[in-house]
Amino acid sequence: MAAISSTSADVFLACYEAMQRAVLIKRVSKTDKEYHFQNWVGDRLTDAGFMHDSIGRNSYPDFTLVHHPEGYEVKGLQWPGREADYDSNSRVPTGLHNGRTVYYVFGRYPAASGEPEYPVVDLVVCHGDFLNADHAYVHKNRSFRGFGSYGDLLVRDRKMYVAPTPFALTEGTTGQATLIVPAGFPMDSRLEKVGDLVRTETRDIITGYTFDMRENVLTPQFAPNPSAGKEHHFAAYRMKGAGSGIVRMKSPVQVNDQLLLGGDE
């Protein structure tokens, strides 16, 4: 096993080696829009020697390891296509869930391929804290009855979260296979560090919101962030001798410009 105090290096290297061997994603059917890349990642967990629970449509993360307190959430992205962010239905990205460390596997694959098999174009495995370091928030769906002219309609507050991908947050990950973990992880001899990344907590945090059903206006409510300005440090790695270039954080302006291109639905 790797010297790193996590399964992430072994899983990342299993993904990288499969990409080098041109192990293709296999679409089960034309209607398979979700599980083809998940299946590919599941095979890599097996390649790395990790037993994992079977995936389910509503499970989170997609894979939980049997003998390790870690899990992997999988996000397949069509390329070219929507790459800057992704929808997370009723799940806030995080690096810790139910006592398990959560890693995210982002893989891009050709969008226009009509073939049943196609390659992984590039890939990022990242610790969930790189996307959101808050472990305290617990998502819950809520509802109330009384809406409508007869007062018997139920309104459900089922939130969807839209998070930026590592491809939107960083430079130097396009066309590569990259592992992003918190700084201070023991070095794995098979990897080389290709970047130091810092994410800084925002000045204000959203504590709630109101929705005016007459005007269709959604209004967020803010409060000072007690951890404002706190820096979270991460390191980017690649297989030793593989790939090229340094991984850097994009500026907040660059990230916001990319996210704005996605529009507001």
pLDDT in tens, 111-166: 876 778 899 999 999 999 999 999 998 888 899 999 999 899 999 988 889 999 99
Exposed e or buried b for every residue in 157-183, given b needs 16+ CB within 10 A? eeeeeebbbbbbbbebbeebbbbbbbe
Looking up tokens 């410009």 gives 257
Any domain includes 171 = yes
**What's the rounded mean pLDDT across residues 12-21?**
96
pLDDT band at residue 263, thresholds of 50, 70 and 90?
A: very low
CA atoms within 13 Å, Cβ hemisphere of 214: 0
Res 176: pLDDT = 95
Angle at 185 between CA 183 and CA 186, to 5 degrees: 135
Any domain includes 208 = no
Any domain includes 1 = no
Any domain includes 207 = no
Residue type, 84: A
Provide the residue range defining the domain that includes 112.
8-199+234-260
Question: Which segment of 23-27, 30-34, 218-222, 248-252 scores lowest on mean pLDDT?
Answer: 30-34
Q: Which residues contact 146 (CB under 8 A, 6 or more apart)?
A: 152, 153
| Alpha helix ranges (H) inside 136-200 | 166-169
Please answer whether residues 121 and 225 qualify as being in contact, where contact means their C-beta atoms are separated by less than 8 angstroms.
no
Which tokens in the block code for residue 87? 């929808």
Task: Give, as one character, the DSSP assignment of residue 52.
Answer: B
Domain count, the chain: 1
| Tens of pLDDT, residues 17-65 | 999 999 999 987 766 666 789 999 999 999 999 999 866 666 889 999 9
Average pLDDT value over all residues in the chain: 89
**What's the rounded mean pLDDT across residues 96-122?**
89
Any domain includes 193 = yes
Any domain includes 222 = no
Please answer whether residues 254 and 170 qualify as being in contact, where contact means their C-beta atoms are separated by less than 8 angstroms.
no
Res 116: pLDDT = 83
The burial of 35, by beta-carbon neighbours within 10 Å (0-12 exposed, 13-18 middle, 19 or more buried), is given as: middle
Q: Which residues contact 157 (CB under 8 A, 6 or more apart)?
A: 141, 142, 143
